[in-house]
Amino acid sequence: MPSARDIIESILERPSVFKSKEKLYPEHLPSYLPHREEQLKSLAAYFRNILLEPGSIAQRVLLVGGIGTGKTATARRFGSDFRALARQRGINLEYVHVNCHRDRTLYLVVQEIARQLRIPVPPRGLSAQEMYKIIMKQLENRDMYVIVTLDEFDYFIEVAGNDSVYFLVRTYDEYPNLAKRINFIFITRSLTSLGRLDSATESYIVRNVIHFKPYTSSELYDILKYRSQEAFYEGTVDDKVLEYIADLIGVDNGGSGNARLALEVLMLAGTEADKEGAQRVTIDHVRRAFTHANPNLSIMINDVIRHLPLHELLLLLAIVRLLRQKNEAYVRIGEVEEEYRNICEEYKETPRRHTQIYEYVNDLKRRGVIDARLSGKGYRGKSTLVGVSLGPLEALEKFIQEIIEIKKGEPS
């Protein structure tokens, strides 16, 4: 019997598809951000005064967009590169990034700003406002400027409240003769969170707004292509795998448009390949990864499958079998119909007509069990394509067969 150490070593000695897995982690900051060039240009335009006339204005910019739309990465990339450009011009600029999901009060935010700027403040005994004055004085003494990003700003508004936000954005109103050294980027998921603020405070924040839309399939493909080249060994992930992930998650195909989710699915698919000792990431690895990334969806669909009518189950079985045989992301509806008729013969059922099959396909799509779309690039002629995003298909096929047997055994 192999020892625990033998088992661990056998895994460690396996070859991996990953060259640098951490390049797919959310905290990794890539040097290139596909499809966020316009947002970077807007940030540069808003903050250029720091380089042209340092201290003349205290800038405030609001980044708005859903989860995984690149807000945090764009702010971090801008902050890092803008700081370097400022230093080249002899301007002492720092960038500070505060996560307000963790630091939700004015005291904690100010304390974190001081920590990142390496400004010593007493651990207790001072108010947030007093600590903030120490920061302002130290910036003056060091002839330093700073861009502070308050990420997940929604949480700060909810917990700290209007007065704390007002204090931050109106600081220099009390010191009109001081050089304006503190600038802000606020990151929020939607403008509705600002409804908790009074009109005066809100107006200060919404003057400069940059919107981040969910990513389309083609945009996600570009992101996945770039990051996969950094993260995987050459030849281990082909374009079909990347296109499939992008199709599943792209907003134009009904997905969330969440790049963070797309990168997580790609990373999990690579992990599935490594578990098997496979040399390449496959479509089925993606299905398994998508299931891991969406456990609630998997539970919901399994529950839906249990209650499907018999012939929709037979059609679903045909889809799953074909996808397994072909090892493709999608199969044509014509092929599905033919396989469905074969399965009906296998189960001694009279197959339904063509129009009824289309109704079944639409129902399965509406319930979220399958994907269905018109064929495009890479297919001859127009046809409906169907696919299944959850996996592994082998386990799904067995599950569907079990439900069919139960349905067949029920009294009619």
303 and 259 in a common domain = no
CA separation for the pair 172, 349 (Å, rounded): 78
78 and 54 in a common domain = yes
183 and 41 in a common domain = yes
53 and 108 in a common domain = yes
Q: Please report whether residue 22 resides in a domain.
A: no
Q: What angle do CA 68, 253, 383 make, to 5 degrees?
A: 155
b (16+ CB within 10 A) / e for 111-127: bbbbeebebebeeeebe
Whether 380 has a pLDDT exceeding 80, the answer reads no
- Rg, C-alpha atoms of the chain: 27
Among 157, 190, 212, the domain boundary falls at 212
Which sign does the torsion angle of CA 102, 105, 110, 114 carry? negative
Question: DSSP per residue over 333-365, as a string?
Answer: HHHHHHHHHHHHHHTT-PPPPHHHHHHHHHHHH
**Coil, helix or strand at residue 252:** helix
Mean pLDDT of 118-129: 88
Contacts of 70 (CB under 8 A, 6+ apart): 33, 35, 36, 39, 212, 215, 259
Whether 411 has a pLDDT exceeding 70, the answer reads no
CA distances for 410 relative to 343, 347, 405, 407, angstroms: 19, 14, 9, 5
221 and 357 in a common domain = no
Q: Provide the residue range defining the domain that includes 98.
A: 36-212
152 and 51 in a common domain = yes
315 and 374 in a common domain = yes
Tens-place pLDDT, residues 103-114: 999 999 999 999
Among 212, 227, 259, the domain boundary falls at 212
Contacts of 41 (CB under 8 A, 6+ apart): none
64 and 108 in a common domain = yes
Q: Please report whether residue 44 resides in a domain.
A: yes
Give the pair of three-digit tokens for residue 384: 């409906």
CATH number of the CATH domain containing 254: 1.10.8.60
Q: Please report whether residue 98 resides in a domain.
A: yes
Cβ atoms of 258 and 67 within 8 Å: the answer is yes
Mean pLDDT of 339-363: 94
391 and 328 in a common domain = yes
Q: Please report whether residue 331 resides in a domain.
A: yes
196 and 156 in a common domain = yes
Provide the domain count of the chain.
Answer: 3
**Coil, helix or strand at residue 111:** helix
CATH number of the CATH domain containing 345: 1.10.10.10
Q: Please report whether residue 190 resides in a domain.
A: yes
Q: Please report whether residue 14 resides in a domain.
A: no
CA distances for 308 relative to 166, 229, 356, angstroms: 55, 42, 15
280 and 135 in a common domain = no
Among 248, 266, 293, the domain boundary falls at 293
Tens-place pLDDT, residues 237-272: 999 999 999 999 999 988 999 999 999 999 999 999
CATH number of the CATH domain containing 75: 3.40.50.300
268 and 138 in a common domain = no
Q: Please report whether residue 30 resides in a domain.
A: no
> Residue 122: pLDDT band by 50, 70, 90 thresholds?
confident
Q: Please report whether residue 91 resides in a domain.
A: yes
Mean pLDDT of 121-140: 91
